[in-house]
Every structure is written in C-alpha cells, then in structure tokens.
C-alpha cells in the first residue's frame, strides 16, 4: 500500500496525458528503505535516518552475529536463495537439514546450544561458513558449551576439541564446491570413508593444531577481507583411546594397519564412542567496513507500465577517523546499482513434469506448496539424487525473458540512462563497495525518471538487405565491412499518444539510405505482406553510433503504420544489438525502447541482434592508416598534423588505447592520450611534439598504437617521417 500511495502522490500535478517526466524515489522523501527490501546483507539502517550504509564492524563485535537468515546447505534449493546474497553454513560436502547435524546452533550466539557429540568419523566433522560478502577480519574463534554433560558425565565445558584446522578465503571460487578426494565404501548399514579421504582446506590455512586441551580457541591472522571460513576437526593422538578400537587413523599409525582395522568396523554402523570435542558457537572478529554490502528491493508494482529514463542517486563518501565517521570526498568507496523491469510480478517461470516427462508451466504457489522436490537424499552424507520425472514433481525454473529484462549492467555514476524497456514492475540490486577498511559510502536516496508509454508495445527486427530470410534464422555479416540493413518496426496501441521520431543505434558509423512507410495493418498480426512506400523523412541526423530519424508524420493509434528503415553500417563485434527507440518530440516524455519481435513475414529474424563473422579470430586493432607517410609540423598550416585512423574490434567495453612514438634506437619520445575507446572506427591526431611539448627533430620514427590487452593483434607499429 505504501508503494502505491507514494507513486500516486508523485504523479499529482504533472498529468499523465501530457507525458511529462516524473520520478520514482527510494530513500529520502521517497519510499522507506526498511520494509521495501527482500535482501539485506550487512546493511545498517539506523546510522543515518533515511539512508543506508554498510554495517561498520567494531572491535570485539562477533561478525557472524551480524548476518541472519542462514541457509544450511552448500546448494540450498529454496526459491529465495541467491549465492552472494545470503549467508550459509554447511556440514561436510553439502550440508544437512537435521538440527543436530547442521550449523543452526553454531551461529546463533547462544553458548547453551550445540551439536550433540556423535559416534561418527572425524573426516565428517567440518563446517564451511559463507558470510555472503567479504568482511574485515583478523581472528576466528570457537568455544565449548557453558553447560551440559557428555554421556560419561564429563562437563561439556571441559570437552575441548583435540585437534583442528581453520582456513579462509576472500572470494567465491570452485574450491568451495569441490569435494574431498574420497572413495566411499558402502555397507548395508553405514558408509565408511577410505583413508584417502581428506578435508580440502580453503585458500589460506590460518590455524592448525594437532593437540589441544583449551575450551576457548582464538586463531589470529593478519587483517584481511574474509568471506569464507572452513573449520575442520582433525585427528589427534588424544583421540587414540576411542578411535583405535574402530580403526581410525591416529598419529603414527601405518596405512596398512588403518585399512585393516577399518574393515573390522564396517559392520558396526557408527563408531562405538562419541567423538571428543563439542563446539557451542563460532565467532569472527575484525574492524572496519565490509568490502561490499548488498540491498535488494522487493519487486515493486508501479501501477501502470512506464518508460524509464535516467537513474540518479545521492551518496556521501565517508571515512572513519579516530573512531568517528566523517564525510570526505577522498573515501575510496562507491555505489553500484543494477535494475530490471517486468510486465508481470514474477521474473521466473515454474514448471511441473507431465506424464510424458516433458514440462508444463504452473504457478509459483503450486510449485512451492503442492509439488515435491525432484531431488532426494538417501542418507545424511549422500549427494542429492534426481527422482524419475513424473507429475507431482518440481521441474525447472526458467527466466521469463519475454516479460522481464535481464539485470542491467552496474551503474556507478548518477544520471546515467537505464536503457531498459518499459514495464509495470521494477526491482533494484544495490551494492555499496569499498576498497579499504576505513572507507564506506552512505546512500541517501535514489530516484528514476519515468513517463507514460508512447505505445503499448513497439516491435522491431533487422536483417541484411540482400538476405531478408537468412537460412540459419539470424543475421550474419562480415566484421568491419559496410553492409546494407533493413530494419522493420511496428507498434501496438491502446490509449497511448504515439511517436514522431525514431533512433537506431548500431554502435558505429551509419549511413541513411531510405525511409519507407507501410499501409495500415488490418487483421493478421504480423501481416503476411506489407506494401511499403518510400517517403522523405523530415530530418535525418547521423549520430556517432547510429541514426536519428524525424518522421514526416506521427505514428498513433489512429494512424498506425509500420516503418521500414534502410541503412548501411559497419559491425565491429561478434554480437551486436541494433537497439532502437521511438520518441515523441512534441511532449516532454521519455523514449520507448523497441523490443525484438515479428513485424512482417518478409523478414524472418524476429530479432535486433546481428552477428559478426571472420575467417579467424579478429585482431582487436585493424586497418591502421596514416594521412601521410611523412608530415611537416612547422606551423605553416599545411600538413602540420598527422591523422591516424584505425578500427577496434570485439571489445566488450571501452578500453585504453596507447599511442606512442619511438626513435630508431628504441627511446620513447612522444605519447598521445587517446582515452578509453570502444569498438568501431577511431581517429586521433599527433602534432609532432615530444613528451615535453617540443617539436621533434627531422627523421624517421616508429609509431606504435596498442589496445591495453594481452590479446594477440592488439598492437600495430608503422614508420613515420618528420621533415621541415
């Protein structure tokens, strides 16, 4: 209810009919951070009213207690679990749901709760803790319960762990999912691990003790970011009295003896004596701000479908000095925001198996509350096994990309356009990042431009002009070659105002060829054929990465006609989306993105994606040309500068390009700052001056231009002459 009230207030006085831009806001005077979240990892709501910031960890504060909503398997199957957004603690390889087996009692901060000592193998006694985010830490600890007794009458407080190993690491890695190298020997009543089985430590072993009598353990290590901790119960000579009788390997015992005595235990089930050592709780201590913290909103209903513009936020960099957080622009901390939008209230599709083993879509409620998990565990330590597909079992969960956008790239600069298609629902994933323990960023508020739709939906597809129905179903072109394309667009209206301009972004130089308007669409959608007539556009603006076309007449619900745009463009990436948008120039609204779809039967791609092809892996830098083989930078206005042209290919993002000049003896004599550049044709100029701004002497020099990459083909060298 709060969401709908705030949105209604934000629209008052602006008028939906005139398509003015409004804002949706979170924090500050907008929606409250508290209560509108579905995930919060190390987020502090209380430090500053109306803002969020990382939970700053104080010395002596148990970091584990700052995390909540723990999962107790390595790979939880709950629908609300997301790796890196939820803390986990699991026993052995995968974890178990039994309270006396999992880590429930080991992270609850209660010294009176614990896992009951059991008669089982030492190799099974290890726990892995995932705090979800890296935190500043320097000490790990655990201790025995404050009360209770073993079955032999010994106080649990005195039941120290005889031997242990503690290892840590900062980031997620495949090591966490690797199992110990174990061969499992099964019997009718139990599963005995071979002596080749061992616990795999994490990247850094910070503590390893083979003989311990202390009930309270503290393992110190240099301050560092820690996300994962692995505690492993190790074998000790102290265990010999209980374990020799059942064949456990103890210090000094030979491998052959161990194998022989293990065989004698195979029919006994569990060991006869419960293991020594009882842990009440784990603790982790450090001081500072986490490396990153996570806040994810609920899926928020905006009431009606909206177009989205720019994302803004107000953030305050902070630094802790002498125990006090103060504002400072020098703080090495920043905000990252990812956004996705949808046309319904769930981005996932849920499936049930049919009697034939195929899958059908069901509601989330049916999936969660009626269907049974397909995977089953035959024993505590067994891996999950799939049941045979049949009705009543959960099948796959897939992403509903027809109605939901994928998460946007992380936005770290306020005022950036979202470039997401329209939707009624929105969700944000916010990460507050930091590079040092003392610095963090406070996010005060965040807001997004929104405006009513220009059309219910605008659909487009692109193909090569000479291959409108490619045999493989998608558009392919040669990299770096100017190619003619046809781009068809159609709109569907209910009560929207329409548009009178369109923009197509190819990512490179684009040449306009023609604009065609089709006959009004009646009946079949998409129509079998459309009669297009070439018309002169009101204006064509060739932009750096595409075209902006002002249409000769508006496209509205009353005058709804398909559009065909023909243009030539170069493709420099192996996969490029020719993103388009429509615009209403007569109103202060927002552009609306064109989505993939079937416009006419004449084109068969149903897509805006274009794939680039090359006979071999393309060089990142190609087609280097100079305006002259020699130039005369003497200030007379003739041939004073050297123009350097080249093409950049297959770059996933903007990268630095380094242009340097060397003398023939190998000395670097000049450098040109080109900045970061993207795929496409590039051009830079050099005035013949050295690094100190002085004109170089006449002679032959080597011009080197390189992409900041380790890839082959990322550097070109060409001689150049300077004459006067």
- How confident is the prediction for the chain on average, in pLDDT? 85
Same domain, 265 and 361: no
Residue-level pLDDT at 294: 97
pLDDT value, residue 667: 74
**Are 507 and 469 within one domain?**
yes
Residues 372 and 332 in one domain: no
Please state, in angstroms and rounded to a whole number, the distance separating the CA atoms of residues 523 and 420. Answer: 30
Angle at alpha carbon of residue 459, lines to 610 and 8, rounded to 5°: 125
What confidence score (pLDDT) does residue 117 get? 80
pLDDT band at 640 (very low <50, low <70, confident <90, very high): confident
Last residue of a domain, one of 547, 580, 613: 613
Q: What percent of the chain has pLDDT over 90?
A: 55
User: Do 146 and 236 share a structural domain?
Assistant: yes
308 located within any domain: yes
Q: How far apart (Å, rounded) are the C-alpha atoms in residues 291 and 582? A: 41
Q: What is the pLDDT of residue 250?
A: 43
- Listed in order, strand segments (DSSP E) in 453-509 are 457-464, 475-478, 483-492, 499-505
pTM, whole model, 2 decimals? 0.78
Note whether residue 404 is domain-resident.
Answer: no
CATH number of the structural domain spanning residue 335: 2.60.120
338-370 tens-digit pLDDT? 999 999 999 999 999 999 888 999 999 999 999
pLDDT band at 268 (very low <50, low <70, confident <90, very high): very low
Average pLDDT of 15-41? Answer: 84
- Residue 48 covered by a domain: yes
The residue count of the chain comes to 724
Distance in angstroms (rounded) separating the CA atoms of residues 105 and 89: 11
The answer on 115 and 262 residing in a single domain is yes
φ and ψ at 263, to 5 degrees? Answer: -60, -30
Q: What is the CATH number of the domain that holds 468?
A: 2.60.40
pLDDT band at 184 (very low <50, low <70, confident <90, very high): very low
Report the 10 Å Cβ neighbour count for 710.
Answer: 6
- Range from 76-80, 109-113, 207-211, 317-321 carrying the lowest mean pLDDT: 76-80
Q: Is the peptide bond before 478 cis (omega within 30 degrees of 0)?
A: no
**Residue 419 shares a structural domain with residue 466:** no
Question: Measured between alpha carbons, how far is 156 from 558 in angstroms, rounded to an integer?
Answer: 82
Predicted pLDDT of residue 314: 96
Average of pLDDT values for 16-23?
Answer: 68
Q: Which of 572, 559, 563, 556 is nearest to 535 (CA)?
A: 563
- Give the per-residue pLDDT at 327: 95
Average pLDDT (25-34) is: 94
Residue predicted with more confidence, 100 or 670: 670
CATH of the domain at 152: 2.60.120.260
* Position 49 confidence tier, pLDDT thresholds 50, 70, 90: confident
Same domain, 80 and 127: yes
- Of the pLDDT bands very low, low, confident and very high (cuts 50, 70, 90), residue 522 is low
Judged against a pLDDT cut of 60, whether residue 2 lies above it is answered with no
Q: Range with the lowest mean pLDDT among 182-186, 364-368, 576-580, 681-685?
A: 182-186
Residue 143 lies in a domain: yes
Q: What is the mean pLDDT of residues 455-459?
A: 95
pLDDT above 80: residue 120: no
Res 15: pLDDT? 39
- Rounded CA gap, 653 and 573, in Å? 11
Dihedral sign for Cα atoms in the order 107, 108, 111, 117:
negative
Nearest Cα to Cα of residue 620 among 712, 704, 682:
712
Identify the domain containing residue 629 by its residue range.
621-722
Over range 376-389, report the average pLDDT.
77
Cβ-proximal residues to 384 (8 Å cutoff; 6+ apart), any chain: 94, 375, 376, 377
124 and 263 part of one domain: yes
pLDDT for 622: 81
pLDDT for residue 450? 96
Q: How confident is the model at residue 521 (pLDDT cuts 50, 70, 90)?
A: low
Q: Averaged over 269-294, what is the pLDDT?
A: 87
At residue 45 the predicted structure's pLDDT band, cuts being 50, 70 and 90, is very high
Mean local confidence (pLDDT), 611-619: 66
CA distance 456 to 498: 9
Q: How many independent structural domains does the chain possess?
A: 5
Examine the pLDDT at 330 and tell me if it is beyond 60: yes
Taking the C-alpha atoms of residue 329 and residue 527, their distance in angstroms, rounded to an integer, is 58
Find the mean pLDDT for residues 90-97: 82
Q: What tokens does 532 get?
A: 């297009």
- In whole angstroms, what is the distance from residue 312 CA to residue 416 CA? 7
pLDDT digits (tens, 9 = 90+) for 554-573: 999 999 999 999 999 998 87
Phi and psi based region of residue 303 (left: phi greater than 0; alpha: psi -120 to 50; beta: remaining): left
Q: Is the pLDDT of residue 412 over 50?
A: yes
| pLDDT band (50, 70, 90) for residue 575 | confident
Could you tell me if 212 and 181 lie in one domain?
yes
* Any domain includes 83: yes
DSSP E strands in 197-299: the ranges are 204-209, 216-233, 281-285, 292-297
Which is higher by pLDDT, 378 or 184?
378
SS3 142: strand
Instruction: Decide if pLDDT at 262 tops 90.
Output: no
Lowest model confidence (mean pLDDT) among 204-213, 218-227, 247-256, 463-472: 247-256
Q: Could you say which of 613, 642, 677 is where a domain stops?
A: 613
pLDDT at 381: 61
Q: Are residues 298 and 428 in the same domain?
A: yes
Same domain, 131 and 235: yes
pLDDT of residue 533: 94
- Whether 405 maps to a domain, the answer reads no
Whether 407 is in a domain gets the answer no
Is 432 in the same domain as 312? yes
Looking at 451, 480, 511, the residue that finishes a domain is 451
**Share above pLDDT 70 across residues of the chain, in percent, rounded to a whole number:** 86
- Predicted local confidence at residue 279, as pLDDT: 95
């Amino acid at each position: 209810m709060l969401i709908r009230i705030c949105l209604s207030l934000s629209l008052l006085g602006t008028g939906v009919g005139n398509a003015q831009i409004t804002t949706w806001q979170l924090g500050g005077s907008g929606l409250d951070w508290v209560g509108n979240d579905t995930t919060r990892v190390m987020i502090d709501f209380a430090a500053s009213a109306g803002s969020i910031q990382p939970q700053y960890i104080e010395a002596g504060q148990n970091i584990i207690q700052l995390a909540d909503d723990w999962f107790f398997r390595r790979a939880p199957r709950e629908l609300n679990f997301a790796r890196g957004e939820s803390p986990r603690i699991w026993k052995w390889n995968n974890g178990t749901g039994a309270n006396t087996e999992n880590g429930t009692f080991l992270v609850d901060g209660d010294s009176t709760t614990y896992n009951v000592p059991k008669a089982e193998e030492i190799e099974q006694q290890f726990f892995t803790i995932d705090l979800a985010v890296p935190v500043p830490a320097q000490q790990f600890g655990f201790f025995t319960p404050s009360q209770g007794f073993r079955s032999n009458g010994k106080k649990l407080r005195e039941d120290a762990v005889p031997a242990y190993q503690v290892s840590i690491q900062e980031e997620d890695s495949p090591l966490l999912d690797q199992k110990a190298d174990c061969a499992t020997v099964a019997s009718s009543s139990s599963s005995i691990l071979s002596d080749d089985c061992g616990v795999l430590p994490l990247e850094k072993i910070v503590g390893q003790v083979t003989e311990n009598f202390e009930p309270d353990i503290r393992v110190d290590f240099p301050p560092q970011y820690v996300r994962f901790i692995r505690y492993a119960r190790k074998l000790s000579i102290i265990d010999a009295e209980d374990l020799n009788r059942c064949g456990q390997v103890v210090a000094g015992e030979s491998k052959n003896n161990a194998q022989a005595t293990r065989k004698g235990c195979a029919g006994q089930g569990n060991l006869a004596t419960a293991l020594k050592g009882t842990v009440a709780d784990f603790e982790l201590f450090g001081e500072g701000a986490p490396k990153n913290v996570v806040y994810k909103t609920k899926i928020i209903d905006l009431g009606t479908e909206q177009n989205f513009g720019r994302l803004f936020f107000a953030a305050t960099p902070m630094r802790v000095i002498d125990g006090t957080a103060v504002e400072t622009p020098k703080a090495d901390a920043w905000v990252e925001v990812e956004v996705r939008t949808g046309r319904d209230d769930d981005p996932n599709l849920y499936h049930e198996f049919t009697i034939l083993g195929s899958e059908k879509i069901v509601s989330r409620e049916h999936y969660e509350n009626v269907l049974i998990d397909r995977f089953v565990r035959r024993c505590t330590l067994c891996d999950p096994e799939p049941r045979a597909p049949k009705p009543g079992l959960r099948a796959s969960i897939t992403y509903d990309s027809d109605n939901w956008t994928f998460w946007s790239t992380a936005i770290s600069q306020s005022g950036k356009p979202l470039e997401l298609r329209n939707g009624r629902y929105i969700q944000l994933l916010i990460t507050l990042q930091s590079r040092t323990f003392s610095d963090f960023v406070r996010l005060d508020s965040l807001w997004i431009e929104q405006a009513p739709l220009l059309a219910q939906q605008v659909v487009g597809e692109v193909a090569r002009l000479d291959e409108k129905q490619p045999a493989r179903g998608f558009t392919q072109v040669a990299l770096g070659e100017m190619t003619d394309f046809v781009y068809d667009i159609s709109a569907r209206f209910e009560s929207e105002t329409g548009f009178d301009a369109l923009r197509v972004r190819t990512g490179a130089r684009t040449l306009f060829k023609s604009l065609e308007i089709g006959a009004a669409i009646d009946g079949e959608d998409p129509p079998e054929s459309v009669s297009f007539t070439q018309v002169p556009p009101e204006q064509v603006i060739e932009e750096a990465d595409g075209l902006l076309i002002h249409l000769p007449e508006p496209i509205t619900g009353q005058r709804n006609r398909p559009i065909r745009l023909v243009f030539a463009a170069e493709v420099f990436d192996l996969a490029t989306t020719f993103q388009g948008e429509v615009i209403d120039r007569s109103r202060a609204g927002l552009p609306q993105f064109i989505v993939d779809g079937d416009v006419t039967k004449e084109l068969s791609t149903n897509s805006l994606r274009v794939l680039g092809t090359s006979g071999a892996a393309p060089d990142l830098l190609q087609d280097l040309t100079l305006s002259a083989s020699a130039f005369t930078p003497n200030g007379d206005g003739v041939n004073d500068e050297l123009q350097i042209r080249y093409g950049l290919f297959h770059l996933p993002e903007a990268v630095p390009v380094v242009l340097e000049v060397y003398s023939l003896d190998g000395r670097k004599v000049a450098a040109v700052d080109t900045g970061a550049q993207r795929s496409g044709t590039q051009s830079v100029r050099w005035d013949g001056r050295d690094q100190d701004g002085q004109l170089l002497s006449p002679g032959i020099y080597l011009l080197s231009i390189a992409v900041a990459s380790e890839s082959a083909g990322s550097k070109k060298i060409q001689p150049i002459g300077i004459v006067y």
